[in-house]
Each structure stands twice: as C-alpha cells, then as structure tokens.
Amino acid sequence: MIRRIQRFLKGVEYEMRQVSWPTLGELRGSTAVVLVLSILLVIFLFVVDFSLARVVSFIL
C-alpha cells in the first residue's frame, strides 16, 4: 500500500514538472478578462430580468 502511494506521488511530481505555468502578466490579463466579462454578464442579466419583470407586471 505504501509503495502504491509512493509511486502515485512520484507520478504526480513528474507531471507537475511538465505543467506550463502562466507568467504573472498572463495571469493578470486572464483575470482582467474574466472580471470584465463577468461584470458585463451581470449587467446584461440585470437588464433582461428587469425588462421581463416590467413586461410581466404590465400584462398582469
């Protein structure tokens, strides 16, 4: 059992060495894109929800 765990951890270590980690600039750029798109999605959903609520309240 211990040998299987050791073999697993060695495999994890080997794979982690092959990972291509983003630079700080790439990380900041990706984070900015995610934040901006999230904010735009929130605004869009708010407008759609508000509009549909007004339409439904007008009909009822």
Query: Cα–Cα distance between 50 and 44 in angstroms, integer?
Result: 10
Domain spans of the chain, in order of start: 23-60
21, 43, 41, 42: which is closest to 30 by C-alpha? 21
Q: Are 2 and 10 in contact (CB under 8 A)?
A: no
Per-residue pLDDT at 53 exceeds 90: yes
Return the pLDDT at 60: 87
Query: Cα–Cα distance between 54 and 58 in angstroms, integer?
Result: 6
Tens digit of each residue's pLDDT (9 = 90 or more) over 5-48: 999 999 999 999 999 999 999 999 999 999 999 999 999 999 99
- Token digits of residue 7: 């073999």
